[in-house]
Amino acid sequence: MANEEEQENELLVLESIYDSSVFEVKKLGRYPEGHFLVRVEVPKPFHVLVPRVNAPDEMQEILLEHLPPVQLDFELPPSYPSDRAPKICLSCPWLTMKELEKLCQALDNCWWQDPHAVVLYRWMTLLETEAGDILGLTSSHSLAPLFKELAHLRGNFRAARWKRCLTYRGYKRYDARCFKEMMDPRSLATLLTEFNSKEKRRLFNLQWIACQVCLSTKLGSEFELVLGCDHAFCRECLREHFRIQIESGSASQLRCPQEKCTTQVLPTQVKSLVGDALGSRYEESLLNAYLDSQADLTYCPRLQCQRPVVTDPDLPMAQCASCYFVFCLYCRMVYHGVQPCRLKPGEQRAIRDEYLSATPAAKQAMEKRYGRRTLQLLVDESLTQDWMQENSKKCPHCGISIEKQDGCNKMTCWRCGTYFCWICLVSLKASGNPYQHFSDPRSSCFNKLFEGAEELADDDHELGEFL
């Protein structure tokens, strides 16, 4: 069989075996040429040590499951396979020139075992299954020798100019078939982590997975991985879950739907699922929740403005940066300098009681003095404050008022999700067992989990989650 026919048959067989993303043939020049990408099998777990950018003597450890493939470019001369082996160029971003030379030597040995037969498939199999043993890969692989070698290659004018080294140069001689990209530690670390993430996602997309929400089995490509915890849910369920929480106004912080997972979903991921309108609404709710938790922030009292305003704790006034309105922090009216507010904070309760118990004539006189609307607002606000003081307590983390209707004394803040004790208002760690506070003999609330509770049955199932 003529060389040309054997080459055509070999390439045809390889194209039928491998996907175009792995094996590709180009027939642009005089001779057939192409490349294949080989993923080297590595031990699991596999750690790559990369020098830190600002401290080259210190190593940064990166845990990887997948590494960028070794690329073998080939050209088939007319005398292949009867007399000559294919011309090759071997490259890989995380291997040194010496390591690439070892692989070239292994490919040469494979050719000489049967020098008159087609060899591309044997080469690809060798790189896939034996490259790790040839390179002596262990569970930890340092890239310090690689960057030391690159520092030597950068002394070459051609390498420094074109950001690569095609052939051997300088004081060291390398196999001309080895190709080396010039990359700094930061770029290589980014390349390795991004490739690892993309490869994990690619393999995940090919699997059949059961959604934990709808219990339907779908391809991984129809699932969304929550960034930060990698819990997977089908996009339809996750989108609907986020949409309901945002539209109901209960989404101060959207978290992973997985049971007991506290990972907060990134706003960018939420926006990609629910769309720009609901995504912007969620971002606005996050901003408002943050502003409400800041003690040095208030809002402009003008109804047409309502922008957040930074206050100075040493000053009784503030100025809105948007509409430039200067107002008193106590009465929320135009700043009146040294003049007292219409209603001093210490007199509000007395004025309210006097107004509520006054005769119609006395009420009319007070309304002329303070204003009917002002007095009505004072009554409403003071009654609300009295009720809140008697029936609610403030969250120790964000300060929002919370009412306890029934159940045990382990409370959960509806805004920030903080666990706290209703009796002593101490914050309980969300990552541990919040009920430990009530079972610790050293605690002042020991054995007081249900003290004052009228209905206990509703919280029995919640206690079981932490036992």
Question: CB within 8 A of 74, min separation 6: which ones?
Answer: 33, 34, 35, 36, 86, 87, 88, 89, 120
Q: Dig out the tokens for 428 from the structure.
A: 């309980």
Residue linked to tokens 């031990």: 43
- Selection from 130, 35, 156 nearest residue 91 by Cα: 35
Cis before 81? omega within 30: yes
> Which among 408, 413, 421, 445 is annotated as catalytic?
408
Q: Dig out the tokens for 157 from the structure.
A: 């004018």
Helix 235-248 vs helix 276-292: crossing angle, to nearest 10: 50
Strands 232-234 and 223-225, by their bridges, are antiparallel
Phi, psi of 4 (to 5 degrees): -60, -40
Q: Dig out the tokens for 386 from the structure.
A: 């009295």
Cα distance between residue 456 and residue 459, in whole Å: 6
Cα distance between residue 358 and residue 389, in whole Å: 25
Known catalytic residue at 261:
no
Give the 3-state DSSP-derived string for 150-215, with helices as H, strands as E and coil as C. Answer: HHHHCCCHHHHHHCEECCCCCCCCCCCCEEEECCCHHHHHHHHHHHHHHHHHHHHHCCEEECCCCC
Helix/strand/coil for 345: helix
Strand partners, 23: 36
The counts of H helices and E strands in the chain are: 14, 22
Cα distance between residue 282 and residue 271, in whole Å: 8
**CA 353 remoteness from chain centre:** 54
Cα distance between residue 293 and residue 285, in whole Å: 12
Active site residues: 408
